[in-house]
Amino acid sequence: MRREQRPTTAPGPLETATVLPDTAPRVAGTAPGAPQAEAAPHPVESAPRPAKAVPRPVRSMPGGPRADAVAGVTAVAHPNIALVKYWGKRDERLILPWTDSLSMTLDVFPTTTRVRLDATAGRDEVTLDGVPATGEAARRVGAFLELVRERARLPWRAVVDSRNTVPTGAGLASSASGFAALAVAAAAAYGLDLDAGGLSRLARRGSGSASRSVFGGFAVWHAGSPGATGAAADAGSYAEPVPAAGGLDPALVVAVVDAGPKTVSSREAMRRTVDTSPLYRPWAASSRADLAAMRAALGRGDLEAVGEIAERNALGMHATMLAARPAVRYLSPATVTVLDRVLQLRREGVAAYATMDAGPNVKVLCRRADARRVAAAVGEAVPAARVLVAGPGPGARLLDGTGR
């Protein structure tokens, strides 16, 4: 498997954004009838840790697909939660962000995707959780497959079967795991010779956060240089693993306080914030400092510092939305109740720190040993909330014929 040379272009300062027409479709839905999350706290089990948190090397046929591509190639990937947030695109076609972001891949709710090539088919066939994909979901996967075909110079259509185990409304977006798994499986099926960085760039074209799910544990997604265009811009934006000290043993308690649809989509909220919020540029600048501090905290195994940085970065992101014209407000009364309970836990001596994405649900970073106590406290504060517990998980990888 050929190794790509890592781009040397460093992320540059934020420049005035020209928001491009949006061509990135929305996230496909989660699985109907997916496994239900626990309504009460449960023990945190050890997260599976592969020997290497990068996709397994595969052999390609020279100038063509894998020998087993007609039979099908299967990959699995897990969702991730950003601790230093991605919010705002400078290029919506290439899915290039304004700022770097850093996340933790989880050990729960994987997406498993199988790609089979069909030389005689006239169109792609995409099934999501046993149901034929339609509308934006079908368009999104189709556009991604077309990108893979262009790079492989192979016109064969694909049969895609993707199974997502994220419970409906769990507050864990499936786009990251979905497109990471699709990138690994499709690249292998079509015979693309990509290293982990190349797979990360490819996954980014389906979903920005998918670039991070290619890797296990902690990963940083580089925004690249704002001045770069075309192929140089594409090459400069990729994810890579971030080392963390061995003593760091985190868990993430997910509090789903509202599983309903958002009144403002993440895509629209992101555009509106970048275009109109007077707080966006200051937050983007502070986010760069947060990223440097986060990497240092992970390196020395300082969970308290990791949590403090994650919490202030997320609250700052939501402040930019509240300052948008008109404002975007995702935080609900239940969200605030959970935030207050997290603050009380810290007063009681528990290292617990909140982070939120574009929605009302709260994720609480804590030590694995404290996860049961944190989950119980959150459940007591908001009895109607669904509470999930996760730990660091593995990167995207190919499965062999036995499913391993």
The amino acid occupying position 102 is L
Query: Hey, what are 169's tokens?
Result: 């409304």
Q: Give the number of other CB atoms < 10 A from CB of residue 121.
A: 12
The CA angle 285-288-290, to the nearest 5 degrees, is 110
**Could you tell me the pLDDT band of residue 65, with boundaries at 50, 70 and 90?**
confident
Sign of CA dihedral 118, 401, 189, 79: positive
- pLDDT tens digit string along 356-401? 999 999 999 999 999 999 999 999 999 999 999 999 999 999 998 6
Contact 351, 366 (CB under 8 A): yes
Rg (CA), the chain: 20
Give the C-alpha separation, 53 to 347, whole Å. 36
In whole angstroms, how far apart are CA 276 and each of 85, 97, 153, 328?
Answer: 19, 17, 42, 11
Give the C-alpha separation, 204 to 180, whole Å. 8
pLDDT for the residue numbered 169: 63
Identify which has the larger pLDDT, 42 or 344. Answer: 344
- Counting Cα atoms < 13 Å in the Cβ hemisphere of 155 gives 4
Element (H, E) at 345: helix 333-347
Work out whether strand 157-164 and strand 125-128 pair parallel, antiparallel, or are unpaired.
parallel
Give the C-alpha separation, 103 to 203, whole Å. 15
- Counting Cα atoms < 13 Å in the Cβ hemisphere of 161 gives 8
Contact 209, 176 (CB under 8 A): yes
How big is the chain, counted in residues?
Answer: 404
Of residues 269, 259, 104, 75, the one with CA closest to residue 179: 75
Give the C-alpha separation, 186 to 192, whole Å. 8
pLDDT for the residue numbered 259: 87
Sign of CA dihedral 73, 215, 97, 309: positive
Query: Hey, what are 240's tokens?
Result: 């890579």
- pLDDT tens digit string along 126-176? 999 999 999 999 999 999 999 999 999 999 999 999 999 987 667 787 899
pLDDT of 5 above 80: no
Strands (E), 129-275: 131-132, 157-164, 218-221, 239-241, 250-256
pLDDT for the residue numbered 63: 53
- Counting Cα atoms < 13 Å in the Cβ hemisphere of 353 gives 21
Judged by average pLDDT, the poorest of 31-35, 178-182, 287-291, 313-317 is 31-35
CA 215 to chain centre: 10
Determine the 3-state secondary structure of 158 from DSSP. Answer: strand
**Could you tell me the pLDDT band of residue 291, with boundaries at 50, 70 and 90?**
very high
- Counting Cα atoms < 13 Å in the Cβ hemisphere of 361 gives 24
Contact 10, 238 (CB under 8 A): no
Query: Hey, what are 274's tokens?
Result: 């970048």
Element (H, E) at 373: helix 371-381
pLDDT for the residue numbered 46: 35
Identify which has the larger pLDDT, 4 or 230. Answer: 230
pLDDT of 13 above 80: no
